[in-house]
Amino acid sequence: MVDPTLSLKDFPGRAELESLLLTLLPESWVEAVRSGDEEAVELLKEGLNKPVVVRTLGEAGWVAPHYAVEHGGRGLSRDDAVAALTLLNVWDVPHVPGGSGLPLAAPTIEQWADDDTKRHLLPPLVSGAQRWCQLFSEPGAGSDMASLATTAVRDGDEWVVNGQKVWTTFGHHSERAMLIARTDPDLPKHKGITYFGLDMKAPGVEIRPLINIAGQLEFNEVFLTDVRVPDIDRIGPVGEGWAAAMTTLGAERHALSGSGKKKRRASDEILGGKPYAEVEQMAVLRGIGGDPVARQRLMNEYIAGRVLTMNLQRARDRAAAGYAPGPEGSLTKISKAASNQHLQEVAIELLGADAMAWMPDDLETPEWIAQFLRTRANSIEGGTSEIQRNIIGERVLGLPREPDAFKGQPWRLVPRS
């Protein structure tokens, strides 16, 4: 077999990266990669200490090689950085830190923070030393997030934060959070908001678990009581938090579209749900793969998945060409949610009566049910499908915005439920 890494584009530091990989990975991993044995690599991943590997790569600057050295990167050009990350993908080595830091917080920090804040926040983020979550939604500010009521009041070189956030994914596992808070209630609701990188271990931060319909602990509600946030943790100018949050939300729509995942092999994707291959295999094993109705249902879902993949590739190509995330994130986010939910509904139909009751020793059916239930959140999380359709209507089709009787009024004068 020909070593697949030999034909890859060269880049500064390649020899150093390959030498580092040889120290991090077992010899059998290297042999499996060079022989193209993907199954062997998957088995070897089970025994790999992924956080240590990611942290080592991150501390060496290879997780985000296009970032400046002082920001945790290698200072490579975008083309060279793509070549470096392509090599990591070919080696199939884990190199993405857990949490929302790299896909959501890092682009926002890069675009909006000053150099001191970048040097402070980015290196531990890209190494995975600090996992990030998101503190945006509130009990009274979900779809209308700009009406948020959490406050941040300046006190010298610090900000004192009070309020409540909800639907915080993996907040109980995070060291940092993307926080937006109101810093000037006398401005209209989209103004007077400031963006911070909150220390989740700071005094006054209380995390309470929320168990979802599938019985999983994934979301949390977070209470903030007189939490002191140093000004160096402020991301962007005071009062520009809404614009910075739009950077995060744009990246989130792409992440929830599945555009950041190289290959989907199991049911552990961020949105939950079984992949198409497993649903098709289940139908075959149950002896209904040849049933005309079942085949038609499966083919519909296969086609939907292929169309989504093409749209995601178009979004990736735009990003590679240097374009900022646009409304295509809303399109793919809606499509991904609908496709994933419909596929799980087909799976439950194929299970038939087994989806209603199963024997105690049946370990597979409960997993199908849990994955089905988890996907019910797909059209809600990361911005509801209704909100995404509004974005498409306004920014793509040019339709008028919904009327707002309080547009331009100071936030403190706007009635809140």
What structural domains and CATH numbers belong to the chain? 14-95 (no CATH), 132-241 (2.40.110.10), 257-383 (1.20.140.10)
- Residues assigned a catalytic role: 252
CA 104 remoteness from chain centre: 6
Res 131 pLDDT > 90? yes
The larger pLDDT score, comparing residue 416 to residue 349, is at 349
Res 416 pLDDT > 60? yes
DSSP at 172: G
- Taking CA atoms, 5 is separated from 9, 35, 87, 386, in Å, by 9, 11, 7, 44
Alpha helix positions (H), 264-381: 276-285, 292-320, 328-351, 365-374
The pLDDT assigned to 260 comes to 40
> In the predicted model, what is the mean pLDDT of residues 181-193?
96
Of the pLDDT bands very low, low, confident and very high (cuts 50, 70, 90), residue 267 is: very low
The pLDDT assigned to 264 comes to 45
Of the pLDDT bands very low, low, confident and very high (cuts 50, 70, 90), residue 315 is: confident
The alpha carbons of the chain give a radius of gyration, in whole angstroms, of 23
The pLDDT assigned to 356 comes to 92
pTM for this model (two decimals):
0.82
Kindly report, residue by residue over 280-309, the tens digit of the pLDDT: 999 999 999 889 999 999 999 999 999 998
Q: What is the dihedral of CA 178, 184, 186, 192, to 10 degrees?
A: -50
Kindly report, residue by residue over 353-402, the tens digit of the pLDDT: 999 999 999 989 999 999 999 999 999 887 889 988 998 998 889 999 88
* DSSP per residue, 57-79: HHHTT-SSTTS-GGGTS----HH
Q: Round the average pLDDT of the chain to a whole number and report it.
A: 90
Of the pLDDT bands very low, low, confident and very high (cuts 50, 70, 90), residue 257 is: low
Residues written for the chain: 417
* DSSP per residue, 292-320: HHHHHHHHHHHHHHHHHHHHHHHHHHHHH
The rounded percent of the chain whose pLDDT value lies above 90 is 70
Closest listed residue to residue 354, CA positions, set 364, 365, 342: 365
Res 254 pLDDT > 70? no
Distance between CA atoms of residues 158 and 47, nearest Å: 44
Kindly report, residue by residue over 188-224, the tens digit of the pLDDT: 999 999 999 999 999 999 999 999 888 889 899 999 9
